[in-house]
Amino acid sequence: MTHASPITEAQSVVAACRADFPALDQDVSGHRLVYLDSAASAQQPSVVIDAIAYYERHDHANVHRGVHTLSHRATDAYEGARETLRAFINAASTSEVVFTSGTTESINLVAQSFCRPKLGPGDKILITHLEHHANIVPWQLVCEQTGAELLVAPINDRGEVELEALYALMDETVRLLAIAHVSNALGTIIPIKEITAEAHAREIPVLVDGAQGVPHMPVDVQDLDCDFYAFSGHKMFGPTGTGVLYGKEALLEAMPPYKGGGDMILEVSFSGTTFNELPYKFEAGTPNISGVVGFGAAAKYLEDLGMHNVEAWEHELSQYMTAQLSAVEGIRLIGTAAHKAGVQSFLLGDIHPHDLGTILDHQGVAIRTGHHCAMPVMEFFGVPGTARASLALYNNFDDIDRLVAALGKAREIFA
Amino acid sequence: MMAGSIQTDDVRELYRDLILDHARHPRHFGKLGHVTHTAEGINPLCGDKLRLYLDVDANETITDAAFEGSGCAISVASASLLTDSVIGLRASEAMTFFDAVTAQLAGSDSLEGGEVELGKLRALAGVRDFPTRVKCATLAWHALKSALRLDKAPASTE
């Protein structure tokens, strides 16, 4: 089994980065680890791990508070990461980059602060059938709280959003479209720029769940023209417990605070409180400073590699994975969109995904099994769950060969 | 490519022939005509879901048992073995089986030569070396316990 296309120099730069990830350098069940679960959580390069450790050893203090040296250093490190992430997604200003605990909190912030005050009976929130639970449940909650209605745009049997049907649902009662950039269960890449233009033509703001977008392709929020873009640190090689909500400044400015506490205020008295400026208005309490430092280091690492290179390399890998998996006897691929990221859900014969996961694990191959926090997607395809292999920049062709070989063993056991 | 297949034997310890046979051809699969006790078992981790039906007579003897639902090979085989094993037992005896099986899966050896004759249920012993799969094997047993206690809420592995 060999891959077909020649590797460009740019791609080989990315391919060489595997050694930057210490967790990949280990054996599992007596085999070299093949990590194909990056869509659940990606591994961290040494530069991220070291940045966090350095911060904790030398610079830690609270941010935005003290006049002493360490507080100043901590603030610089924290705000430096904000600037790195601003550049990473090409936001116009750091005022538009709000740190959160992850994509889930970013989406909940928009649901509660942007949507809730303006929603009532007769209003609608529009999502699609392929969303992750984190882009479904916050909208269900705000609809329950306000009497608004949740609309769901359909997908087709390749796992693509039906664009015409989506546009047909965009009427004057829709207050927000919330949509994934890349489906975590199916790998579908959604044409966000085109959809945003259609939504804006109908004066509908757009939130993009970018958790699976930022690790795999260049993201330019100004080019996409989305109103909000939510993503997590740990899907893009940073630590867990970190995330960003990007929002257009005028929208964030008009939104009330989401949580109350320290750091989000200018002045507090018992007769009232003056809220801090953006983005601090949304960052109540002492933030996850060391996590954000690591998050910034991860974005810097990706910038240095070049997201165009990452995208090109993963495209090669993804094409190869699809071709190799398609050739496995008895396999059913779920998610076969024309434009796909390196995520492939599948079923093998009548083997339950959970059993497949165990058999693969015992050959050192880590995949995700289950409903992938996208139960409506599983229901659409009539399956209780799937096995899912997901790629990241540190994977290679050999990983995919190992996956295919491990599936062969599973077929043997369940023969 | 492959670094050998030394671990495959370990996986075969989990997927013993008896387990695979019961997973593929589950015994007592379906509903019962007469049901006195029933409970649902749900494993929120993987979505496995099954319902256990029991027919218990006035002497507290389980005269019939069946289950339906969907799940992985381990949970289906375990449910199949359970129904095979508890028919003809008194409810209190079935509960000692619950204790024995869950102890076995928790890694306790007390059952191997203990008071309860596990018989083919010993085939589940391979699961204890796979901590992430123990809940699959205990799902039906938690449903049994729940059914015999007449619990209203579904049994959960969590």
Give me the mean pLDDT over the A385-399 stretch: 96
Q: What is the predicted pLDDT for the residue at A377?
A: 93
Q: Does A376 contact chain B (CB < 8 Å)?
A: no
- Cβ of A30 within 8 Å of Cβ of B6? The answer is yes
Chain B residue with minimum CA distance to A415: B20
Residue pLDDT, tens place only, A3-18: 556 667 667 788 789 9
Q: What is the predicted pLDDT for the residue at A1?
A: 46
Calculate how close chain B gets to A301, using CA atoms only, in Å.
30
Contacts of B99 (CB under 8 A, 6+ apart): B116
- Cβ of A398 within 8 Å of Cβ of B1? The answer is yes
What is the distance between the alpha carbons of residues A198 and A204, in angstroms, rounded to a whole number?
9
Confidence of residue B158 (pLDDT cuts 50, 70, 90): low
- Cβ of A30 within 8 Å of Cβ of B7? The answer is yes
Which of B12, B46, B132 has its CB closest to that of A385?
Answer: B46
Q: At CA A268, angle to CA A257 and CA A117, rounded to 5?
A: 25
Q: What is the predicted pLDDT for the residue at A262?
A: 81
Percentage of residues of chain B with pLDDT beyond 90: 59
- Is A373 one of the catalytic residues? yes
Give me the mean pLDDT over the A249-267 stretch: 89
Q: Does A352 contact chain B (CB < 8 Å)?
A: yes
What is the distance between the alpha carbons of residues A230 and A240, in angstroms, rounded to a whole number?
15
Q: What is the mean pLDDT of chain A?
A: 95
Chain B contacts in chain A segment 8-37 (CB below 8 A): 29-32
Which positions in chain A touch B5 (Cβ < 8 Å)? 363, 409
The three-state DSSP-derived secondary structure of chain B is CCCCCCCHHHHHHHCCHHHHHHHHCCCCECCCCCCCEEEEEEECCCCEEEEEEEEECCCCEEEEEEEEEECCHHHHHHHHHHHHHHCCCEHHHHHHHHHHHHHHHCCCCCCCCCCCCCHHHHHHHHHHHCHHHHHHHHHHHHHHHHHHCCCCCCEECC
Residue pLDDT, tens place only, A40-92: 999 999 999 999 999 999 999 999 877 899 999 999 999 999 999 999 999 99
Give me the mean pLDDT over the B60-71 stretch: 95
What is the distance between the alpha carbons of residues A78 and A73, in angstroms, rounded to a whole number?
9
What is the distance between the alpha carbons of residues A234 and A211, in angstroms, rounded to a whole number?
9
> Strands, DSSP E only, in A154-283?
174-180, 206-209, 228-232, 243-247, 265-269, 272-275
Chain A residue with minimum CA distance to B70: A384
Contacts of B13 (CB under 8 A, 6+ apart): B126, B129
Which positions in chain B touch A405 (Cβ < 8 Å)? 1-2
Long-range contacts of A102-105 (CB under 8 A, 24+ apart): A102/A232, A102/A233, A102/A234, A102/A240, A102/A241, A102/A242, A102/A243, A103/A134, A103/A209, A103/A210, A103/A211, A103/A230, A103/A231, A103/A232, A103/A235, A103/A243, A104/A134, A104/A138, A104/A243, A105/A243, A105/A245
Q: What is the predicted pLDDT for the residue at B119?
A: 85
Residue pLDDT, tens place only, A281-326: 999 999 999 999 999 999 999 999 999 999 999 999 999 999 999 9
Contacts of A415 (CB under 8 A, 6+ apart): none
Q: Does A398 contact chain B (CB < 8 Å)?
A: yes
What is the distance between the alpha carbons of residues B42 and B31, in angstroms, rounded to a whole number?
18
Q: What is the predicted pLDDT for the residue at A371?
A: 87
Which of B2, B11, B47 has its CB closest to that of A359?
Answer: B11
Which positions in chain B touch A365 (Cβ < 8 Å)? none
Percentage of residues of chain A with pLDDT beyond 70: 98
pLDDT at A349 > cutoff 60: yes
- Cβ of B46 within 8 Å of Cβ of A370? The answer is yes
pTM, rounded to two decimals? 0.91
Q: Does B127 contact chain A (CB < 8 Å)?
A: no
DSSP result, A24-67:
GSSEETTEE-EE-BTTT-----HHHHHHHHHIIIII-S-SSS-S
Confidence of residue A273 (pLDDT cuts 50, 70, 90): confident
Residue pLDDT, tens place only, B111-147: 454 567 788 888 898 898 888 899 999 999 999 999 9
Q: What is the predicted pLDDT for the residue at B5?
A: 40
Q: Does ipTM come in above 0.85?
A: no
Q: What is the predicted pLDDT for the residue at A269?
A: 83
Percentage of residues of chain A with pLDDT beyond 90: 87
